Amino acid sequence: LMFELDKVFRKKFSRRDFLKYSSSLAVLLGLSELYVPQIAKALESVTLKKQTVIWLSGASCSGCTVSFANTHYPSVAELVLDTLSIKYHETLMAASGDAAEEGLQEAIKQFEGKYLMVVEGAIPTKQDGIYCKIAGTTFLDKVKEVSKGAAYNVAMGTCASFGGIPASGPNPTGCKGLRDVIGGTVVNIPGCPAHPDWLVGTIVNLLLFNKVPGLDRHGRPQMFYGKLIHDNCPRRGSYEEGRFIKNHGEELPDIEACMGTKGCRGPITSADCPRRLWNSGVNFCIAANAPCAGCVEPDFPQMSLYEPIPEVAKTIKAAEAARDKSAISTLGASLGGAIAGAAAGAGGMYYAQEKAKRKATDKEEV
Ligand code: SF4
Ligand code: SF4
């Protein structure tokens, strides 16, 4: 994939459009408007560059390719996607057989040390990787070969980042994530699938600033994975008040109750889904009445999907105890107040620990 930004700017955009694009990029990257002049300056220098991307697909469902194709910032999509010159992408390219393989080898040679490698899907490693082969070569060897000449290595989706579904027990093919196979700095963009903005934003960041964005302890860009789902959840108020759903699809007003009782992993999952939203800003899991499954975390998928996670189970128990106490109290503080106090006691301690842990282990990697 070749991004010929110089052509885009020279042929299509006025100065006004250019600044508008810079604004969109600031939003995408989670930066304030104050950064627009800096982004515009960086974009101007980027117009002189050409960036090649080689996209390899292993043990995956191709959902991340579909998700990427749904990028919903029209201006950014136009900026990035309209200028593609597909060098190698097994799902999207027209070439097949020898022509496809020759194209890949040519791209590796011609753009050595400059291209971006994107890997989608887990990498089978058992028996020297014989469970996934492309053009007679194992995916394991292919990934190692292509990564050697790459300027940056990116894992797209949870399977490529941590193994994901193909690596879930009993994992007979020994599937692993990219970082575990090639080592070194890998930008992980997990999600099942990954949000298109997370990859587009990362690529734009690499192009603009010529460096890897700040990563957290799991190799994820902090700008997209820096906050717990729980901290921005529209049902957080219900959690604090001890209002939990008993069954899925309950009638209003309990439709807005917390889904911790149904295994919501929002309190231990870091992503910006509640603010960024999915499907062109339409919705996200919890707002659509489905608990967060923690799809961006290294331990996804969990088999106990609908069991309360231990941290929330404590809060549910505390809320129930407070409710019982309130029911027999004759003086009675308000029910909400009693439950909220007990819940905050159990939940608050967990958050203090979790946040201290994150602060200590997250680090900037460049
Ligand atoms: S447990 Fe889930 S539904 Fe409840 S407040 Fe947290 S993120 Fe929202
Ligand atoms: S809300 Fe949770 S399960 Fe849904 S996409 Fe975001 S991280 Fe994945």
Tens of pLDDT, residue by residue over 245-255, are 988 877 666 66
Distance CA 335, CA 121 (A): 49
pLDDT above 90 (res 118)? yes
Place of tokens 């910032």: 73
Q: Give me the phi and psi of 292, to 5 degrees please.
A: -65, 130
> Is 192 one of the annotated active-site residues of the chain?
yes
Enter the pTM of the model: 0.82
Cα atoms in the Cβ-side hemisphere of radius 13 Å centred on 295? 19
Distance CA 94, CA 145 (A): 23
Radius of gyration of the chain, Cα coordinates, nearest whole angstrom: 23
**Which token pair is 274?**
């509640």
Mean pLDDT for the stretch of residues 226-234: 96
pLDDT above 70 (res 357)? no
Distance CA 40, CA 210 (A): 14
Q: Give me the phi and psi of 122, to 5 degrees please.
A: -75, 165
> Is 159 one of the annotated active-site residues of the chain?
yes
pLDDT above 50 (res 48)? no
pLDDT recorded at residue 93? 77
pLDDT recorded at residue 329? 57
286 or 28, which is more confident? 286
Q: Give me the phi and psi of 183, to 5 degrees please.
A: 65, -170
> Is 292 one of the annotated active-site residues of the chain?
yes
- CA torsion through residues 194, 202, 218, 291, sign: negative
By residue count, the chain amounts to: 366
pLDDT recorded at residue 189? 98
Mean pLDDT for the stretch of residues 197-226: 88
Spacing, Cα 266 to ligand 1 middle (Å): 5
Distance CA 70, CA 306 (A): 29
Confidence grade of residue 340 (pLDDT, cut at 50, 70, 90) = low
* Lowest-confidence segment of 101-110, 199-208, 221-230 by average pLDDT: 199-208
Mean pLDDT for the stretch of residues 7-17: 54
Spacing, Cα 238 to ligand 2 middle (Å): 19
Distance CA 230, CA 268 (A): 8
Q: Which ligand gives the minimal distance to the CA of 229? A: 1
Residue nearest atom 1 of ligand 1, based on CA coordinates: 260
Residue nearest atom 6 of ligand 2, based on CA coordinates: 273
Mean pLDDT for the stretch of residues 94-106: 88
Mean pLDDT for the stretch of residues 197-203: 85
pLDDT recorded at residue 234? 94
Label residues 281-314 b or e (16+ Cβ within 10 Å = b).
eeebbbbeeebbbbbbbbebbeeeeeebbebbeb
Instruction: Among 286, 295, 297, 354, name the best residue to mutate to test ligand 1's pocket (greatest count of ligand atoms within 8 A of Cβ).
Output: 286
pLDDT above 60 (res 81)? no
pLDDT recorded at residue 323? 76
pLDDT above 60 (res 80)? no
Confidence grade of residue 147 (pLDDT, cut at 50, 70, 90) = very high
Nearest ligand 2 atom to alpha carbon 265: 2
β pairing state of 133-134 and 150-156: unpaired
Distance CA 96, CA 57 (A): 14
pLDDT recorded at residue 36? 76
Distance CA 198, CA 224 (A): 7
Confidence grade of residue 132 (pLDDT, cut at 50, 70, 90) = very high
Q: Strands (DSSP E) along the chain, which ranges?
A: 2-3, 51-57, 88-89, 115-120, 123-124, 133-134, 137-138, 150-156, 175-176, 187-189
pLDDT recorded at residue 180? 98
pLDDT recorded at residue 269? 97
Distance CA 154, CA 38 (A): 25
Query: 74: cis peptide before it, omega within 30°?
Result: no
- Residue 262: what residue type? K
Confidence grade of residue 280 (pLDDT, cut at 50, 70, 90) = confident
List the catalytic residue out of 159, 175, 195, 218: 159
Task: Provide the percentage of residues in the chain whose pLDDT is more than 70.
Answer: 74
Residue nearest atom 6 of ligand 1, based on CA coordinates: 230
pLDDT recorded at residue 139? 98
Q: What is the pLDDT of residues 61-72, one digit of tens each?
A: 999 988 887 765
Mean pLDDT for the stretch of residues 302-318: 87
β pairing state of 137-138 and 2-3: unpaired
